[in-house]
């Protein structure tokens, strides 16, 4: 363009007060605090000033016209006044997606949260005795009922559970653990680091791929506090490998008078073998197998809220409860309410499968997924009136995620989309910036949406998002 001078451009930029008087911004003031609007105006003006002073090639005079600035100000206002934690549509096919909030709560748990959080409750009040009680009794009864454990304690998460158990039972002493089980659990958190921070001294035994009973046995000495087994939930060593089964560790522990602790990671209450998923020991089996302490997460395969569950002998759980760190790791009434409501569903296995979203998604039959994929494909097809998209249904595989059942892919159907009008990367970006954001994945230059993790009411959201993308095509 025939460029105006920097001075002229700067002069063209309206002032804060002039902008504030504009109709759309006056209207925005009825819905937003003045402070946020002013901050948005200043932000946009400052950005434009920078572009002018930097003599940016991409800057056009029209960008400095008030209507264009007003649009940017409203965008900024929306951005800074919105919630940062928002719902997203999970089309990734990873059921327990830690980055997307892990498990969806069953409606029964949400109902219970509503009831208990809008009302005073007996969180720490013993209604029979009329005096102070313990918050830990609430989930404990149902946990013991379902698992056969003597006692239970619920803390903030499973990392907290492992920490508390070792800090209580092994601080300053040795914990014998297999090298093959020193796992990183994501976000660069490593189980051995959590274990060490408890004050326990790790005695690593065996090799990465193989550990034998004699490896544990020869490491036992008078400083040994316990034998620890960590369920290698997010990876699997295949080929020439062996782990010592829990039963043998228990026998070894008994022989030497040592406790055996198992960190199960996921903590499944149901046997998933009938659904083609092998190798996830259930919590009940582990308790029956004789582990003195078992720990697991509340929001992985259990399908409840974030929590760490510790099950075990009454005397040991009692010691954990007395540890001052229990206070630092303690759970809120919301966690206890949601956990208890989720656990109650497990009294009837069929009900649990139906009502707990994590279980429902993992066990959805393939024909149901196929039908859902075709429905989604035709909804997107309806939005694509000008045939700018290539849309097809193809088979693929989902993952349980959350470090559960690694290397076990669940057969599924995905809707695959690409366009000659827009790169697949751009489609991904556009959907990720949708309201609500839609998270899928790119494979072989196709944008894939796995229907396993889509909720029934989300299909129209995807259709609308594609309508919006397609209207972009018309502009260019």
Ligand X SMILES: *Cc1c(COP(=O)(O)O)cnc(C)c1O
Cis peptide preceding 474, ω within 30 of 0: no
Output Rg (C-alpha) for the chain, integer angstroms.
28
Of 40 and 181, nearer to ligand X (C-beta) is 181
CA distances from 401 to 243, 330, 442 (A): 23, 26, 18
Of 234 and 364, nearer to ligand X (C-beta) is 234
Of 37 and 164, nearer to ligand X (C-beta) is 164
Q: State how far the Cα of 294 lies from the Cα of 284, in Å rounded to an integer.
A: 10
- CB 234, min distance to ligand X, A: 6
Of 135 and 231, nearer to ligand X (C-beta) is 231
Q: State how far the Cα of 128 lies from the Cα of 282, in Å rounded to an integer.
A: 35
Of 91 and 153, nearer to ligand X (C-beta) is 153
Of 14 and 303, nearer to ligand X (C-beta) is 303
Three-state secondary-structure class, residue 203: strand
CB 353 within 8 A of CB 106: no
CB atoms within 10 A of CB 340: 21
CB atoms within 10 A of CB 397: 13
- CB 243, min distance to ligand X, A: 13
Compute the Cα dihedral for 159, 160, 162, 167 and give only its sign: positive
- CB 155, min distance to ligand X, A: 9
- CB 265, min distance to ligand X, A: 3
Q: The sheet that has 410-419: what strands, in order across it?
A: 94-96, 389-401, 410-419, 446-450, 441-443
Q: State how far the Cα of 341 lies from the Cα of 346, in Å rounded to an integer.
A: 9
> For residue 416, what are its two tokens?
């695959």
Q: Given the rule CB under 6 A, which residues bind ligand X?
A: 157-159, 183, 185, 191, 230-231, 233-234, 263, 265, 297, 308, 403
Of 310 and 359, nearer to ligand X (C-beta) is 310
- CB 276, min distance to ligand X, A: 21
Nearest residue to ligand X, scored by beta-carbon proximity = 265
The CA angle 346-350-352, to the nearest 5 degrees, is 35
- CB 306, min distance to ligand X, A: 7
CA distances from 286 to 16, 70, 231 (A): 66, 62, 11
Minimal CA–CA distance to 471: which of 377, 392, 380, 384? 384
- CB 303, min distance to ligand X, A: 13
Of 281 and 440, nearer to ligand X (C-beta) is 281
Of 157 and 412, nearer to ligand X (C-beta) is 157
Three-state secondary-structure class, residue 245: coil
Q: State how far the Cα of 209 lies from the Cα of 236, in Å rounded to an integer.
A: 10
- CB 317, min distance to ligand X, A: 18
- CB 307, min distance to ligand X, A: 7
CB atoms within 10 A of CB 393: 19
Of 206 and 265, nearer to ligand X (C-beta) is 265
């Amino acid at each position: 363009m025939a460029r105006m001078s920097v001075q002229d451009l700067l002069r063209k930029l309206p002032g804060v007060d002039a902008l504030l008087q504009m109709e759309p911004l006056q209207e925005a003031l009825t819905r937003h605090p003045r402070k946020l609007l002013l901050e948005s105006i200043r932000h946009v003006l400052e950005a434009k000033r920078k572009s002018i002073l930097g003599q940016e090639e991409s800057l056009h005079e029209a960008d400095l016209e008030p209507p264009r600035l007003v649009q940017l100000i409203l965008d900024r206002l929306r951005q800074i006044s919105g919630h940062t934690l928002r719902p997203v549509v999970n089309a990734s096919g990873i059921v327990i997606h830690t980055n997307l909030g892990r498990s969806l709560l069953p409606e029964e748990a949400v109902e219970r949260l509503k009831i208990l959080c809008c009302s005073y409750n007996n969180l720490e009040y013993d209604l029979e005795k009329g005096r102070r009680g313990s918050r830990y009794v609430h989930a404990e009864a149902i946990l013991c009922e379902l698992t056969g454990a003597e006692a239970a304690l619920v803390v903030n998460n499973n990392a907290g559970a492992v920490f508390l158990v070792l800090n209580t039972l092994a601080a300053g002493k040795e914990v014998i653990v297999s090298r093959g089980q020193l796992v990183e659990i994501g976000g660069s958190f490593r189980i051995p680091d959590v274990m060490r921070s408890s004050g326990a001294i790790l005695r690593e035994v065996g090799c990465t791929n193989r550990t034998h009973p004699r490896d544990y046995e020869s490491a036992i000495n008078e400083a040994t506090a316990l034998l620890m087994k960590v369920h290698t939930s997010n990876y699997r060593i295949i080929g020439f490998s062996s782990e010592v089964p829990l039963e043998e560790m228990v026998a070894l522990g008994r022989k030497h008078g040592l406790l055996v602790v198992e960190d199960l990671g996921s903590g499944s209450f149901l046997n998933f073998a009938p659904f083609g998923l092998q190798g996830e020991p259930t919590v009940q089996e582990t308790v029956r197998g004789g582990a003195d302490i078992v720990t697991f997460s509340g929001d992985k395969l259990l399908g409840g809220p974030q929590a760490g569950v510790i099950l075990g002998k009454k005397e040991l759980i009692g010691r954990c409860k007395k540890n001052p760190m229990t206070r630092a790791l303690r759970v809120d009434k919301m966690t206890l309410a949601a956990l208890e409501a989720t656990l109650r569903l497990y009294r009837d296995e069929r009900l649990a499968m139906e009502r707990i979203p994590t279980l429902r998604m993992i066990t959805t039959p393939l024909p149901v997924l196929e039908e859902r994929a075709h429905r989604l494909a035709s909804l997107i097809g309806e939005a694509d009136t000008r045939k700018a998209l290539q849309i097809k249904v193809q088979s693929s595989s989902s993952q349980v995620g959350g470090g559960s059942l690694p290397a076990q892919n669940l057969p599924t159907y995905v809707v695959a989309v690409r366009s000659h009008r827009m790169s697949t990367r751009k489609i991904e970006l556009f959907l990720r910036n949708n309201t609500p954001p839609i998270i899928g994945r790119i494979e072989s230059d196709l944008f894939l949406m796995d229907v396993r993790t889509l909720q029934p009411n989300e299909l129209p959201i995807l259709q609308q998002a594609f309508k919006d993308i397609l209207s972009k095509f018309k502009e260019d």
